[in-house]
Amino acid sequence: MIFLPKGSQYLYSVVEKSTIITFKINHIVSLCDNCTFHFIDQYVKKSTDIADNLNNIGISDIKKRIDYFIRGIVSCLLDGINCNSWYETKIKEFFLMLKMYYTTEEIYFFLFKVISDDIIMLEHFNQNSINYQSVKQIADSFYMSPKAFSARFTKIFGTTPMRWLIEQKSKKTLQEITSTKKSFKQIAFELEFLSESQFTNFCKKEIGKNPSQIRMCSSL
C-alpha cells in the first residue's frame, strides 16, 4: 500500500499486471476511540528511532485481511455500486482494519506525512465537540489563549472555532431529531440548550426548519 498526501507528486513503475484501488480521503478519519493519532504520535516518538525507519514512510505491506477487504471492494465496484455513503463507510472500515491488523509503529510510518499537530488538533475536536460550549473551553484544553487559538484554528481550517462549534452542534441536533424518538425537550436538555425555545430557535436559524418540521421531513 502507498499513502500519498494531497498535493504530492510521485513516480512509480508497475513491474507486473496490477489493479489500482484509490481511496480519496477528504476529511480526517480516526482509527478508533481507543487508538487516536495523538496516542500513536506520542507512543512512537517515545519508543522508536524515526531515523531508522525513513524507508518505511508512506508504504506498507498488504496483509491478508486487507487483501480480502480490497478484493471485496473490487467485487462491489464491478457489481455497479456507486454510492458516496458506501465509499465513506469503506474508508472508515479501512482505518479500523489498520488499527486491528497493523502495529502502532506500522500505522505511524504509513501515515507519517499527515500525522501533524494540526491533524491531531482536528481529531481532538471531532471526538470532543459535544463537550465544548465555548471557544475558551477548547483553547484551555490546548493551553492557549482564546485569541491565539482562534487565529491558529482559522488559519488551518478556514473557519472560526465558533462557526465550527455551531456546525457540530447542528449535525448532532439533526441526528438526534431524525434518528431517535426522543422528545424535543429531552434532546434540548441532552445537548445543553438553556430551554426548549432556545433549541427551537437554533433549529430554525441553523437548519432552516423547526424540530417538528425536521422530524416530519425525515419520516417521508
d(CA 37, CA 124): 9
CATH architecture of 117-220: Orthogonal Bundle (1.10)
pLDDT digits (tens, 9 = 90+) for 125-180: 666 666 777 888 888 877 788 888 888 888 777 788 888 888 888 989 999 999 99
What percentage of the chain has pLDDT greater than the value 90? Answer: 25
**pLDDT at 54 exceeding the cut of 90:** no
Helix, strand or coil for residue 162? helix
Q: What is the C-alpha radius of gyration for the chain, rounded to an integer number of angstroms? A: 21
The pLDDT value recorded for residue 213 is 94
Helix, strand or coil for residue 58? coil
Give the pTM.
Answer: 0.48
35, β-bridge pairs? 32
How many other CB atoms are there within 10 angstroms of residue 210's CB atom? Answer: 15
* 13 torsion bin: left (phi>0), alpha (psi -120 to 50), beta (else): beta
| Mean pLDDT for all residues in the chain | 79
Q: Cell match 460550549: residue?
A: 133
The pLDDT value recorded for residue 51 is 47
Boundaries of every domain in the chain = 1-115, 117-220
Amino acid at 168: Q
Residue 107: pLDDT band with limits 50, 70, 90:
confident
d(CA 4, CA 196): 47
**pLDDT at 115 exceeding the cut of 80:** no
Indicate the length of the chain as a whole number. 220
Environment class of 3 (CB within 10 Å of its CB; exposed 0-12, middle 13-18, buried 19+): middle
**pLDDT at 95 exceeding the cut of 50:** yes
pLDDT digits (tens, 9 = 90+) for 3-52: 776 656 667 777 888 878 787 766 555 566 555 555 555 555 555 555 45
Say if residues 36 and 30 touch (Cβ distance below 8 Å).
yes
Nearest CA-CA partner of 161 in 169, 149, 172: 149
2, β-bridge pairs? 59
